[in-house]
């Protein structure tokens, strides 16, 4: 491991929000069925599904958007917000999650500034007419008008299967500068995020995985620590901030 760590890239996935009560996509957290066991990806999470049956897709995302607003950040989100507030070097938290729990954990500390939602955000609507994204908390299934242009063409601002995740150039640039890459609560099943560990290793970056169980990519990490995010993440943050 590099003796001096200055630049950190962190990737988070559904596992960091599991203890807040948000379903994971694959491995079912809390013993229940995972999201993609309850809903077929091809029915609700592709551009083709939206073109075929927009009502179904809107209802699915309306339900998810309403649900996340009833959830609260857990100690893992709070620990990363503290790291963001206190880490003197560069830091980029790349989240695959579309919830706003990282932001809400950071709010009391002056907001999470160094956060990137590569798969979009539940609390934004994207206008397919004027291309502008607006903050959004309510439903979209009633086809409300875009607050900017008035057209009734809003869609969830969520990256679907077959679409390009956001700000990949910024993520790869941060990885090139990184001394440490940390992956938290993700199964490593969905690319391009699943490939970040390999990019990091090839760039000579030290890699650490914090997850409930071994993931598909575990063997690629220099180090894996298993446990629930609410415990392993605060422990690691204390360690890196020199408080252990």
Q: Which two tokens stand for residue 27?
A: 């491995």
131-146: b (≥16 Cβ within 10 Å) or e: eeeeebeeebbeeeeb
- Least separation in angstroms between CB 127 and ligand APR: 22
Q: How does DSSP classify residue 166? A: T
- List of E strands, 13-119: 91-95, 115-117
Residue 136 vs 196, nearer CB to ligand APR: 196
Candidates 60-68, 85-93, 174-182, 187-195: pick the segment binding ligand APR (CB under 6 A).
187-195
Distance of closest approach, residue 184 Cβ to ligand APR, in angstroms: 7
Let me know: does 225 contact 215? Beta carbons within 8 Å: no
Nearest CB to ligand APR, comparing residues 215 and 224: 215
For residue 215, state whether it binds ligand APR (rule: CB under 6 A).
yes
Question: What is the C-alpha to C-alpha distance for residues 179 and 205, in angstroms, rounded to an integer?
Answer: 5
- 209 scored as a contact of ligand APR (CB under 6 A): no
Of 119, 122, 206, 222, catalytic: 119
Per-residue x/- marks for ligand APR, 27-46, CB under 6 A?
x-x----x------------
The DSSP letter of residue 91 is E
Cis peptide before 192 (omega within 30 of 0): yes
**Catalytic residue status for 119:** yes
Site for ligand APR in 88-117 (CB under 6 A): 96
Determine contact, residues 207/221, Cβ cutoff 8 Å. yes
Token code pair at residue 212: 């409930």
| Min dist. Cβ of residue 37 to ligand APR (A) | 10
Instruction: List the one residue from 57, 123, 174, 228 that touches ligand APR (CB under 6 A).
Output: 228
Site for ligand APR in 119-138 (CB under 6 A): 119
3 state SS of 125? strand
Number of residues that bind ligand APR (CB under 6 A): 24
Residues marked active site are found at: 119
């Amino acid at each position: 491991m590099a003796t001096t760590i200055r630049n950190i890239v962190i990737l988070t996935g559904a596992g960091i929000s599991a203890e807040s009560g948000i379903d994971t996509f694959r491995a079912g957290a809390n013993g229940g069925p995972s999201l993609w066991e309850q809903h077929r990806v091809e029915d609700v999470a592709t551009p083709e599904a939206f073109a075929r049956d927009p009502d179904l897709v809107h209802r699915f995302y309306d339900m998810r958007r309403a649900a996340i607003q009833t959830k609260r950040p857990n100690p893992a989100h709070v620990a990363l917000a503290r790291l963001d507030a206190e880490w003197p070097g560069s830091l980029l938290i790349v989240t695959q999650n579309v919830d706003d729990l990282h932001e809400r954990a950071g709010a009391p500390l002056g907001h999470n500034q160094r956060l990137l939602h590569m798969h979009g955000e539940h609390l934004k609507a994207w206008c397919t007419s004027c291309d502008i994204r607006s903050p959004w908390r309510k439903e979209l299934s009633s086809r409300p008008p875009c607050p900017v242009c008035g057209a009734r063409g809003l869609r969830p601002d969520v990256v679907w299967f077959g679409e390009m995740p956001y700000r990949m150039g910024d993520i790869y640039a941060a990885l090139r500068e990184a001394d440490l890459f940390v992956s938290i609560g993700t199964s490593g099943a969905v690319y391009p995020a699943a490939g970040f560990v390999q990019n990091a290793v090839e760039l000579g970056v030290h890699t650490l995985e914090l997850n409930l169980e071994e993931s598909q990519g575990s063997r690629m990490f220099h180090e894996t620590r298993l446990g629930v995010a609410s415990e392993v993440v605060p422990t690691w943050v204390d360690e890196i901030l020199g408080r252990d």
